[in-house]
Chains A and B, each alone.
Chain A
Amino acid sequence: MSYRFGHMLGIEPLSAGEITFLLDQSKPFQEIQRHPLKKLATLRGKTVALAFFEPSTRTRISFSTAASRLGADQMNLQAESSSLKKGESLLDTVRTLDAMKPDCIVMRHSSSGAPDFVARNLALPVINAGDGTHEHPTQALLDALTIRDRRGTLEGLNVTILGDILHSRVARSNIHLLTKFGCRITLCGPAMWIPRELEFLGGAKTSIRRVTRIEDALVDADVVLTLRVQQERLHEPMIPLDEYILQFQLTPERMRLAKPDALVLHPGPIVRGLEIDPAVADGPQSCVLEQVTNGLAVRMALLFLMTGSGADAPPEKDSSHAAD
């Protein structure tokens, strides 16, 4: 069963079938990372616009590499660029990019809903590389691929997410995705950042609970997803870092409460000694590097699926079967 994606704005509207399809389609791209020659000509002649209105190194490099390895050309917009400083509106900026006819736009923005806004105003496929505190769909997909590869399944796992959930788009996308596969989600962090409304994400039959003690959160966990601690905070007093470390740092002792084969994931960048102890970050349960490799595969798959084929075409000549 094959699916088409007009935009990739978030995980919330996707079905479990569509997500499984995306993960399956990422596998050939995982494999390509092992080739000595990692370059394809599949998207030759296509252009991917990378519009990062919020500074980002890892995600931008990942998408950029994904596009390059598929043979696509790139248009690069970075937050520091002068037109944005001159007060040009988001709409004008993307319309200018659109006038140069890219085949899709990958966008990161500090306002929740900005990719939705762009998708409503342009006839161009939009991939959300992170919008405000709303969603970061490719992160959740690469996390899911990592979990599935290591555990063999996404179904019914106990997943603990640690940190500032309220302000985390990574947490939201992961909650949406994993609940579609019947995972039981435990959210743990400072009380003001795990509001009750988080329990309503993901719809009726989902199992989401909130706890404030990390020990309660880690018992029997299959997967522990550690969020980074955002020290840049507008409109919010920050809790003292020592408080955070005392209550919520993921240490080897605390990890013993989880299942022995539990996985530790982190979206990066990691601050060893803050949200996570170095021994855990670099230990055998840590999947951080696989996450990065899988991120490349997932993003290549998405770029391929969203820009790789055309809508109206005559029947293929080379197919040896009429019905293929």
Chain B
Amino acid sequence: MQIVEKAQLMTATEIDRTVQRLAHEIVEKSGGTANLALIGVRRRGVPLANRIAQAMRGIDGVDVPVGTLDITLYRDDLSKVAAQPILQSSDIPFTVDDKDLVLVDDVLYTGRTIRAAMNGLFDLGRPKRVRLCVLIDRGHRELPVEASFIGRTVQTSDTEIIEVRLKEIDQEERVVLVERVS
């Protein structure tokens, strides 16, 4: 089983510009940031959420709290997972009740991760609103999930995978389209 790179979709600069744009969009479309909070979905949603919050500070000094959410316990497909999943803690240092939440993740695909994330959120309380922000939407939804804030929409096929590589985790900054070849 080999992984072959087919195309580069975003450079480091493009990622940064998109993050800035998303931050502005969220602030603009939130009608008041008092109750706003970002929740980064582990793993790569976390640095993205942090960067978006950072970018928001640059906009009128808006200071939005960031939490992290590990969805392993909420997945619907655990029995199909071969490797022993390693649990990470979720860390949401504010109450979720009545908050205007934005879930942040790197890639939106089938929608199952976001469904699991919402289960996790609702275990914590009752948010006022939950919207989704993703860097890439690659289609092929299997559940009725939609993102309100999208960095880029990309058409893909089933055998392709979109890898968002961020320096906090991957030691490089780019988005690539890869394919599994046996």
Contacts and interface: CB of A to CB of B under 8 A. Distances in A.
Chains A and B directly touch (beta carbon < 8 Å): yes
Interface of A: 2-4, 25, 27-28, 31-32, 35-42, 301, 304-305, 308-324
Contacts of B74: 40-42
Nearest to B114: A318
Interface stretch (B12-20, B29-37, B57-65, B75-83): B75-83
Interface of B: 3, 43-44, 70, 72-90, 106-107, 109-110, 112-113, 119, 122-125, 161-164, 178, 180
B161 A322 contact: yes
A324 B107 CA distance: 14
A92 B79 CA distance: 29
B73 A320 contact: no
B77 A316 contact: yes
Nearest to B83: A2
Contacts of A42: 73-75, 78
What 3 pairs between A and B have smallest CB-CB spacing? A313-B82, A37-B123, A313-B80
A258 B62 CA distance: 51
Given A39-B123, A316-B77, A28 B84 contact: no
Given A36-B125, A309-B79, A318 B89 contact: no
Given A41-B74, A310-B80, A25 B86 contact: yes
Contacts of B79: 308-310, 313
B108 to A, nearest CB: 10
B78 A308 contact: yes
A211 B16 CA distance: 65
A266 B164 CA distance: 49
A24 B16 CA distance: 34
Contacts of B77: 316, 318
Nearest to B113: A318
B99 to A, nearest CB: 14
A40 B123 contact: yes
B84 A4 contact: yes
Given A308-B85, A322-B178, 20 more contacts: A2-B84, A4-B84, A28-B87, A28-B88, A28-B89, A35-B123, A35-B124, A36-B124, A301-B87, A304-B87, A310-B80, A310-B81, A311-B82, A313-B80, A313-B81, A316-B80, A319-B161, A320-B44, A320-B107, A320-B109
A304 to B, nearest CB: 7
B112 A31 contact: no
B141 to A, nearest CB: 12
Contact of B180 (A3, A36, A304, A322): A322
Contact of B82 (A28, A41, A312): A312
Nearest to B82: A313
A309 B178 contact: no
Contacts of B84: 2-4, 305, 309
Contacts of B70: 28
B81 to A, nearest CB: 4
Nearest to A43: B78
Contacts of A36: 123-125
B82 A310 contact: yes
A110 B121 CA distance: 43
Contacts of A4: 84
Contacts of A319: 161
Nearest to B43: A324
Contacts of B43: 324
A32 B113 CA distance: 19
A27 B90 CA distance: 9
A180 to B, nearest CB: 21
28 contacts: A4-B84, A28-B72, A31-B89, A32-B123, A37-B123, A37-B124, A39-B123, A40-B73, A41-B74, A41-B119, A308-B79, A308-B85, A309-B82, A310-B80, A310-B81, A312-B82, A313-B79, A313-B81, A313-B82, A314-B80, A317-B109, A318-B112, A320-B162, A320-B164, A322-B161, A322-B163, A323-B3, A324-B43
Contacts of A316: 77, 80-81
Contacts of B178: 322
A166 to B, nearest CB: 37
A323 B83 CA distance: 12
